[in-house]
Chain A
């Protein structure tokens, strides 16, 4: 059920500003790919082009191709809504729906899309919460509001919400940057489990995290302020962290950047 992503010649704009330029890469199914790089280098923008969330921003547009198992996400007649059902997303800050209970939050994707059977719903919610390692903590208070959970629990709730709709790919935009080390560990363990079922792409500022969770790592950089971000290299995580082929990558990883 996990799918491969093939990006070729992708350039994204905010209005007239070119945010990322000419990015090509392959993301393998059932693996974790980490994006690292300095702030403003376009990691998040690139991530958002992978499920057509980039164009939600006013002025956002994209050139190039993103193939999801041989189907171009930016091809003619592709419905961005269907794309987002296949490619789920977890955001930097936990954002459970404040008006909904824990149960409703997890069920939100199915309910709002309207394609579910009532009898299945309980099972799907339990399965998703178990999948997000949250079931044991919330099983007694499924009807309580989701915003009452701790930050780390909220983020796992958001992951449960994302996997409840059974996407093929899961994009994570710095999912741990607002969390403490223990919650971060919980999410990292979870990522390790989730990659059995999904293709995972994660943006992170934490290089140890990239080294811990990812199979492949991509390094992004930009030539200067106002310049578009570019993909410098993508390789096996071990190679990137031990013997990268580009000097800039080594400088960034070893902290000798700039």
Chain B
């Protein structure tokens, strides 16, 4: 190319200078190296401090370099992008480390024997034993709570979205909001006061009642949002065919939103599956297998974890069991979530 041609070529107004695509990685590597250097020089031993220094250096360096090469607007864009990444990492790191630690410590004693035996013949400080009684208790209590909480929640949401007008609907919405904020121990105390009035001993179903109280507002809220997403045109189309309102809700509105409603219920179940406080008050915990939720103390997974940890007297066997039970609980919640996603995808309107 001759020099004349270069001179005649006008600079593009649409294309500015760009940092190469590897530059964020280079800056990140540079900041980490600099942070390690600064940390070592200043005598900081904590990795967290190094990480914070590295993050600050990364953001500052990104802004400085990008502002020099690309201009201030692109520099701000890059800073915003890197802040989003930092926030993402801050959110994910504890999550991943939590799961990592739980899996690492939980797999030690997690086997078929552990899942199929109770603590009936094992002292808390001895190895062996299992969580069969706790799984059974959790499934029964959470299942009964769902049987009570989910239908009431869904029906309340249907009332609020499809029928509710005026003061009653406002009052219901208000109380649902208040219920969302009830601490779980208070729900437990409420049922406990009823039990004391009726002079009853702890039993599984009492826990279910408290869990249902905690579950209901979550189901109402999520179902409400899902029902509101159903376009009004569909309701009108159905009504205009001469379909009564209740059938319209049953055959058009609910099928259209069933995926989202199921997801909401599953998430609510996941939430109450990990509740410890009301179960501690109302179900009390039990070393033995008690399959009857309506009579006698039962165990449950979160309660089992708590009791293994607190009653262990420093025995490693008890800690191992607590971790294995935690892993089981997390796996249970995760499976529920996956099932919910599967149902949502399967039922989604195409």
Chain A residues at the B interface, C-beta cutoff of 8 Å: 51, 53, 56, 58, 81-86, 88-89, 91, 93, 95, 97-99, 108-109, 111-113, 145, 147-148, 158, 161-162, 165, 167
Contacts and interface: CB of A to CB of B under 8 A. Distances in A.
Summarize A's interface: helix, strand, loop or mixed. Answer: helix
A124 B248 CA distance: 21
Interface stretch (B10-18, B32-40, B145-153, B233-241): B233-241
Interface of B: 165, 231, 233-244, 247-248, 251-252, 255-256, 347, 349-350
Given A112-B247, A113-B242, A145-B350, A58 B165 contact: yes
Contacts of A167: 242
A130 B241 CA distance: 19
A84 B240 contact: yes
B236 A165 contact: no
B256 A98 contact: yes
Contacts of B238: 97, 108, 112
B237 A91 contact: yes
Given A147-B349, A148-B350, A95 B244 contact: no
Taking each of B165, B234, B243, which has the highest tally of chain A beta carbons within 10 Å of its own beta carbon? Answer: B243
A192 B319 CA distance: 80
A113 B251 CA distance: 11
Taking each of B231, B235, B236, which has the highest tally of chain A beta carbons within 10 Å of its own beta carbon? Answer: B236
Contacts of B231: 95
Contacts of A98: 234, 256, 349-350
A56 B350 contact: no
A145 B347 CA distance: 13
A84 B239 contact: yes
Contact of B237 (A82, A147, A158): A158
B233 A95 contact: yes
Given A91-B233, A95-B234, A162 B349 contact: no
Nearest to B240: A89
Taking each of A51, A84, A99, A147, which has the highest tally of chain B beta carbons within 10 Å of its own beta carbon? Answer: A99
Nearest to A146: B350
A161 B236 CA distance: 13
Nearest to A167: B242
17 contacts: A53-B239, A56-B239, A81-B242, A84-B239, A85-B241, A95-B237, A97-B252, A98-B234, A98-B256, A98-B350, A99-B256, A109-B241, A113-B241, A113-B242, A145-B350, A158-B237, A162-B240
Contacts of A88: 240-242
